Chain A
Amino acid sequence: MPAADLTALFITLRLAATTTLILLVLGTPLAWWLATTRARGRSVIEAIIALPLVLPPTVLGFYLLLAFSPDGPIGATTAALGLPSMAFSFWGLVLGSVIYSMPFVLQPLQNSFAGLGTGPLEVAATLGAGPLDRFISVVLPLSKMGYLTAAVLGFAHTLGEFGVVLMIGGNIPGQTQVLSIAIYDHVEALEYSRAHWLAAGLLISSFLVLLMIYGANRRVHLMRSA
């Protein structure tokens, strides 16, 4: 595989891994809040988080690009802090991906938390476990499948990102060029065999990842019904 493609692969994996990690950390308290609150604001937040599911990625990318510009809220903040602009940078891609992949991480977590019910937590409380202790000793172990699904979906969805990346990342080889865009470039240049390598690689690895989740889900169901 040519070095440029390897670099694109590496950037893609790093982007997906960083995004997934950030989403799991941020998503845990947010999903917990969504799963347990009865506050009125809940449906508003849920709708906002689900927006990337229905919007064309270019819409999200367009607004992010505006926000990154020196007059935009994010651009002005980074400039004031003396940080480099997020536009056309790796961390800009991370921010875009976090927003873009958020529903794919949040919803499995939220469903998993909601499915626990209040019973196990109440039992743990009567047995002397405080709130954080309850979360670690009861919620996390019982939500393993939710975390696995969230991580895999978030990772895989970030791998396949195209529109947002193109809008805010440009296509700078070695910095912001990810696999999906490298494929696009190869096709444009009529280098079909190089496009095939990457496209088939993504196809097969995505299939394997999904097979793993569904396989694990099935095992859990079988174990429970046994």
Chain B
Amino acid sequence: MIEAAVRLQKPEFLLQAEFSAPGRGVTAIYGPSGCGKTTLLRAIAGLEPNTEGRLSVNGESWLTPDTRLAVEKRGVGLIFQHPSLFRQLTVQENLLYGRKRLKKAINPIEINELIHSLDIEALLTRYPDGLSGGETQRVALGRALLAEPKLLLMDEPLSALEQNSRTKLMSLLEKFLQQLDIPVLYVTHSSEEVARLANNLVLLAGGSVTHSGTIGQVLGALDSDLSRSDSAFSVIEGQVSEKQLPGLICVECGAGIELQVPRSDGGYESGARVRLRIRARDVSVCLEQPQRSSILNILPAIITEVGATADNGSRIVKLDIDGRALLSKISEYSVQHLGLREGQAVFAQIKSAALL
């Protein structure tokens, strides 16, 4: 369990963040640029000496009003946005830098396993200056984990990469981070990274936490800046089914719910667990079931909540599809015209869903 209530006055803004997150799994810290995400991460790492308040990680107290544990005693793994390998050391020496400082024997088998799972065996004798962005971040991740941190902090680790290595590293992180037995705090402003990697979500705006909880709880909160913005989205989990339609992948989401998504270039085996990110603006609401539509994903739903009108005249409507929450963004006019209200049975039309 991570419990944080920190306060930090910077020349440009005030960080005043309070949240808690589970002691395992990935918690994304999400918000627009300049909202203080990186500063919050640095404060948690202990790199901002003027941080006040309280912070404890899995029962260990790192910051109280009277005490402050030094960075090097906290045991945090920190992955920066920009390359941070020591350029005077080879990849192997970089990997062992933190490990050597642990008062503990080095177990070569365990190290080799990690090197293998990060696919960096071929780089060991090279120097950081010649590595690609994706390789650099994988080595940095390995170096951080070999030091056996109690908390892994990642500050937009994919944002400095070009599209191709970004996609590759994201697939690796997706599997890798879930297997760790330490908590991960992952700062990002990409909804795709949130949808793919996170179990929990902390929303940050203007230096303060507005919402925190499981990804479902937070995405479903209609009063958040995220829900009111154009990038509001929902995440639905499912399993790739054996059924094949031309150009489509069929995902079973349980309780007989089935969604068709375009077959992307990456092949998915049937039975694979996947997450679907569905943007609220791609979901519309009909009172009657549309017939003969090009939109394939039409599901019966119940309106559970109708949000307030946003500045741009749109409203967010929260739908329940057999226990799964789905957000729909429609115009204020449509809400009135159709007379939408809580508890009403409708049909949700999903124009597109991205397989993650």
Interface residues of A (CB under 8 A from B): 119-120, 122-130, 133, 137-138, 141-142, 224, 226
CA distance A126 to B143 in the complex (A): 11
- Given A119-B80, A133-B101, the answer on whether A125 and B86 have CB atoms closer than 8 Å is no
Q: Is B88 an interface residue, CB under 8 A from the partner?
A: yes
B316 within 8 A of partner (CB): no
Of A127, A138, A142, A226, the residue contacting B101 (CB under 8 A) is A127
29 A-B residue pairs with CB within 8 Å: A119-B80, A119-B82, A122-B47, A122-B71, A123-B78, A124-B86, A124-B97, A125-B46, A125-B70, A126-B47, A126-B74, A126-B76, A126-B77, A126-B78, A126-B149, A127-B72, A127-B98, A127-B101, A127-B143, A127-B144, A128-B98, A128-B101, A128-B102, A129-B97, A129-B98, A130-B70, A130-B72, A138-B86, A142-B88
Chain A residues whose C-beta falls within 8 Å of the C-beta of B143 in the assembled complex? 127
B75 within 8 A of partner (CB): yes
B51-86 Cβ-contact flags toward A at 8 Å (1 or 0):
000000000000000000011101111101010101
B87 within 8 A of A: yes
The distance from the CB of B267 to the nearest CB of chain A, in whole angstroms, is 38
State A141–B71 Cα separation when bound (angstroms).
22
A126 touches B88 (CB 8 A): no
**Are B86 and A126 neighbours in the complex by a CB distance under 8 Å?**
no
Instruction: Assess whether B45 is interfacial by the CB under 8 Å rule.
Output: yes
**Which residues of B come within 8 Å of A, CB atoms?**
45-47, 70-72, 74-78, 80, 82, 84, 86-88, 97-98, 101-102, 129, 143-144, 147, 149
A26 smallest CB distance to B (angstroms)? 25
Task: State whether A123 touches B80 (Cβ < 8 A).
Answer: yes
Contacts of A124 in B (CB 8 A): 86, 97
Chain B residue nearest to A224 in the complex (CB):
B129
| Most A CB within 10 A of own CB, among B70, B72, B75 | B72
Contacts of A130 in B (CB 8 A): 70, 72
Known: A119-B80, A224-B129. A128 touches B75 (CB 8 A): yes
Which residue of B46, B70, B71 has the most chain A CB atoms within 10 A of its CB atom? B71
Q: Which of A119, A120, A126 contacts B71 (CB 8 A)?
A: A126
Q: Is the CB of A142 within 8 A of B78?
A: no
Contacts of B78 in A (CB 8 A): 122-123, 126
Known: A128-B72, A128-B147, A130-B72. A120 touches B86 (CB 8 A): yes
A125 to B72, Cβ gap below 8 A?
yes
Min CB distance, B49 to chain A, in Å? Answer: 11
Task: Name the CB-closest residue of B to A130.
Answer: B72
* A53 CB to nearest B CB, Å: 31
Specify which of A125, A129, A130 lies most central, judged by the most chain B CB atoms within 10 Å of its CB: A125
What residues on B are CB-neighbors of A226 within 8 Å? Answer: 129
CA distance A122 to B88 in the complex (A): 16
- How far apart sit A92 and B267, CA to CA, in the bound complex (Å)? 80
Q: Measured between C-beta atoms, what is the minimum distance from B60 to chain A in Å?
A: 15
Q: Nearest Cβ in chain A — how far from B55, in angstroms? A: 15
Q: Are B72 and A129 in contact (CB under 8 A)?
A: yes
A contact residues around B87 at 8 Å (CB):
142
Least distance between B101 CB and chain A CB atoms (Å): 4
Interchain CB contact under 8 A, B144 and A119: no
A residues near B102, Cβ cutoff 8 Å: 128
- Complex interface: chain B residues within 8 A of A128 (CB): 72, 75, 98, 101-102, 147
> Which B residue sits closest to A140, measured CB to CB?
B88
Which of B46, B75, B84, B149 lies in contact with A123, CB distance below 8 A? B84
